[in-house]
Structure 1
């Protein structure tokens, strides 16, 4: 049913990657059996729509480190903002979809161009053809978690998720003695700011770096849409340069 829901919203994928969970293995087996029971003519017609399942080796969660790390951050944030409180199904579904929107609006990189502003590439860019499809946000005080108005409750939980996620995803290092790789002048960076509204991912270009007496870069001046902000290195994430042909 999860696969059917995914296909209904995103279309049929050509390839799926996962661990060897019994639900994933069982789903593949059932689909393979259903395909084998079809007539040869129908198999030939559907062959181009088959989904390739790629499973990680047993007892090797690190093979899926990219998505496992993301899942861990999301779970931790959800445990914090929802916890053991009873949440109506409509509220929980709304919060989960808000979380999906936050993750799919996160920049993956940027496209090199002569324009002054870097063009960030997000999962939404690949899924919908535009960077962000979210609705305007409404912020309510945290006291609304006790409200009987489910809309307000869902928005408060989404804001709490964002606050926790932005801290969990990019933990500030307590002590370091080396320069952040790639943080040089003209580098394109994502500025991490927990004070901004949820799903806000400000992108800017480094115009000046500040070195301390030991030679390490500790902060930098970042130009964001004509405004210059000085931020510590721990709040800056360098974005990779994606050639326009891969966008």
Structure 2
């Protein structure tokens, strides 16, 4: 695998440098009436280069104006970017031209106050990847694929209102920003992981306790409960996929699975985990087979020791002890 680009290795605050892409279309109901008209909506995804945090905006169309409004909402909540990377879609190219025109206008108008001048000099450097080279945007393409694949599977033929779909997208954003990246400390008794949310709000994301509605038929649920049910179904699909990816990465070097060691912080594969909840633990003992490869590990999780096969344990993406 090649080295990371220099822009992903420079220390900076979250979303100072990011990639952006669109996904869709998604059908949206214009109201709650039974035969209400439907329209199309799109998902705009911003991915931070340094923290891999995700920000999602719901937009009405693929025009430059719609993207500029999404960009303004993004900047209002995440701060001004110094660099944005994208593909060569026409809405991004048009938005870049309008931003340049707007910046020149602000700088040439002498009657504007210092605040407008400060905004103009801040500037945003826009970078376009080469045409027909989606692998250059692998960072944000992976996030878009993860969101799009499971969202389409869960929604199926369901038509949600703008408010309902926006609620689900923000829940998806919270789920993606809750994924553990690396241990927060080297203390063997501390199983707290570092997540993208730590760079955004200073602590892990959490969710309001909700009953499990994943197996309840749609005709027994109210509209807001359907949104909760869709979120829970999407969490289960994405959680299973994410844990599987953590294990397959180790097969780049060996086909024998992860060779865990004492002190490694791991994710434990469990059934019926609620959204934004992760079962973590520290390896305290390992049991190797005749070939010297670890097959079973004892993990300290939530104050008690549990024994699990290594197939049920997933080292964190940036765990240095494995």
TM-score (norm 1): 0.83
CA offsets per residue over residues 38-66 of structure 1, 9 Å max, x none? 23466752255322323322222222323
How far apart are 1:71 and its partner, in Å?
2.2
1:106 is matched with which residue? 179
CA offsets per residue over residues 160-202 of structure 1, 9 Å max, x none? 10111122233376x9732426x21111122233421111112
1:2 is matched with which residue? 70
- Whether 2:17 is the aligned partner of 1:17: answer no
CA distance in 1, matches of 2:293, 2:94: 52
- Whether 2:289 is the aligned partner of 1:212: answer yes
TM-score (norm 2): 0.66
CA distance in 2, matches of 1:18, 1:235: 37
Q: SS state of the match for residue 158, structure 2? A: coil
CA distance in 1, matches of 2:302, 2:289: 27
Q: SS state of the match for residue 311, structure 2? A: helix
1:93 is matched with which residue? 166
Distance 1:146 1:241, change over 3 A: same
| Over 4 Å off, 4+ runs | 40-44
How far apart are 1:146 and its partner, in Å?
2.9
CA offsets per residue over residues 67-91 of structure 1, 9 Å max, x none? 3223222222111111122223332
CA distance in 1, matches of 2:241, 2:79: 31
Higher relative contact order (CA 8 A, sep 6+): 1
Question: Whose strand proportion is higher, 1 or 2?
Answer: 2
Aligned pairs, number: 240
Q: Is the 8 A contact 1:105 1:199 kept in 2?
A: yes
5+ long unaligned stretches in structure 2: 1-68
Q: Is the 8 A contact 1:110 1:121 kept in 2?
A: yes
How far apart are 1:32 and its partner, in Å?
1.2
Q: Is the 8 A contact 1:77 1:161 kept in 2?
A: yes
1:163 is matched with which residue? 236
1:245 is matched with which residue? none
Distance 1:48 1:190, change over 3 A: farther
How far apart are 1:208 and its partner, in Å?
1.9
